[in-house]
């Protein structure tokens, strides 16, 4: 780990960062970005130097892309110190981060850093409600839904949204802002190489489903069971875990969803495959789903249900249709 530097040098770099000479300014910001990247003591020294944080916020509005990027990088580095998350997350800073994310003129790197800083600040529970008040939830949902949102930036936006919706009030705002259909589009319209992105979207949906608003919105989604089965047939294990978790929550609340799954000839074979070749979490979730399907089959009686065949437990522990 890089050792801490004297306060005098920090003050010198901060002074040079305000220089009218672009080269001096950029060199000073690069030095500060490097000093604050790995050393918590340096972060504290910088943060507690008078007017340092307001100075970086001002510089992050610079028309120069490199100055903006370096300033945001320093602010992100500072946010890694837990004791700095709360003072950094004032409403002015949050509003500024919102504007960077929303602006069509923002460079991909600045957008990534703004989203990363937002996510870092949201990790402190005391900060979560501030983002809800500042309109960040609606902004993230709208940006994820928008035509300018590419895979490179979507991951950071989704991660930020995931952190924020742990707070019930933010989850409600997200659902009312259309988060469920927006996230379902990410899941169902994924392209080659973007399955990890679908996995992150499913992780957010799982968080929303912990609250009634989110779960009800998922239940109302057209073809929700079919969509989750398609995910279970994919390659991304994170996506499979998320889809299985969502099906468990849906089955707990809706017998209709369970019957929709039971009518699908491929559903049990997909679960069987997941129970054998899935991750530990995926195998556990597949087992829960199989148990729920067996309970429904038992309720219906042996082959009484016109649209479904009963499930049986084979010697190897895999449930199949008769």
Question: Domain extents for the chain?
Answer: 1-84, 89-221, 225-296
Tokens, residue 236:
């991304």
Please tell me the distance from the alpha carbon of residue 32 to that of residue 10, in angstroms, as a whole number: 8
Give 194's DSSP letter: -
Residue 66, exposed/middle/buried by CB under 10 A (0-12, 13-18, 19+)? middle
Tokens, residue 280:
């530990």
Please tell me the distance from the alpha carbon of residue 20 to that of residue 23, in angstroms, as a whole number: 9
Give 319's DSSP letter: E
Please tell me the distance from the alpha carbon of residue 238 to that of residue 158, in angstroms, as a whole number: 14
Asked if 1-84 and 89-221 have one fold, the answer is yes
List the pLDDT tens digit at each of the 322 positions of the chain: 556 788 899 999 999 999 999 999 999 999 999 999 989 999 999 999 988 999 999 999 999 999 999 999 999 999 999 999 999 999 999 999 999 999 988 898 999 999 999 999 999 999 999 999 999 999 999 999 876 555 556 888 999 999 999 999 999 999 999 999 999 999 987 555 566 788 999 999 999 999 999 999 999 999 999 999 999 998 889 999 999 999 999 999 988 999 899 888 899 899 999 999 999 999 999 999 999 988 887 776 644 544 444 444 443 344 333 3
Please tell me the distance from the alpha carbon of residue 294 to that of residue 289, in angstroms, as a whole number: 9
What pLDDT is attached to residue 295? Answer: 85
Taking the C-alpha atoms of 255, 260, 265 and 268 in order, what is their torsion angle to the nearest 10 degrees?
A: -40
Pick the CATH number of 1-84 from 1.10.569.10, 1.10.30.50, 1.25.10.10, 3.40.605.10: 1.25.10.10
Element (H, E) at 165: none
The answer to whether the beta carbons of residues 16 and 54 sit under 8 Å apart is no
Main-chain phi, psi angles of 48, to 5 degrees: -95, 5
If one counts every other C-beta atom within 10 angstroms of the C-beta of residue 95, the result is: 12
Angle formed at CA 312 by CA 309 and CA 318, multiple of 5 degrees: 120
What pLDDT is attached to residue 152? Answer: 53
> If you classify domain 89-221 with CATH, what class do you get?
mainly alpha
């Amino acid at each position: 780990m890089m050792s801490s530097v004297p306060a005098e040098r920090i003050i010198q770099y901060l002074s040079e960062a305000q220089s009218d000479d672009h080269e001096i300014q950029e060199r000073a910001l690069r030095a500060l970005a490097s000093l604050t990247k790995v050393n918590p003591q340096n972060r504290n020294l910088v943060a507690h130097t008078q007017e340092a944080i307001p100075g970086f916020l001002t510089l992050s509005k610079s028309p120069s892309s490199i100055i903006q990027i370096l300033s945001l990088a320093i602010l992100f580095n500072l946010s890694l110190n837990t004791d700095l998350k709360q003072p950094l997350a004032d409403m002015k800073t949050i509003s500024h981060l919102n504007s960077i994310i929303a602006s069509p003129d923002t460079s991909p790197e600045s957008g990534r850093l703004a989203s990363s800083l937002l996510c870092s600040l949201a990790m402190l529970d005391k900060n979560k409600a501030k983002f809800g008040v500042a309109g960040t939830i609606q902004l993230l949902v709208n940006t994820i839904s928008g035509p300018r949102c590419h895979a490179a930036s979507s991951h950071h936006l989704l991660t930020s949204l995931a952190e924020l919706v742990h707070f019930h009030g933010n989850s409600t705002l997200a659902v009312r802002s259309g988060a469920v259909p927006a996230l379902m589009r990410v899941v169902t319209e994924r392209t080659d190489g973007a399955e990890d992105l679908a996995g992150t979207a499913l992780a957010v949906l799982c968080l929303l489903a912990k609250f009634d608003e989110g779960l009800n919105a998922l239940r109302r989604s057209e073809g929700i069971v079919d969509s989750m089965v398609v995910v279970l047939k994919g390659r991304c294990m994170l996506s499979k875990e998320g889809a299985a978790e969502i099906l468990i929550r849906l089955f707990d609340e809706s017998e209709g969803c369970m019957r929709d799954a039971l009518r699908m000839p491929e559903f049990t074979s997909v679960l069987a495959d997941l129970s054998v070749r899935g991750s530990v979490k995926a195998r556990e979730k597949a087992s829960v789903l199989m148990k729920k399907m067996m309970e429904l089959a038992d309720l219906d009686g042996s082959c009484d249900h016109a649209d479904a065949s009963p499930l049986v437990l084979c010697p190897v522990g895999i449930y199949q249709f008769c």
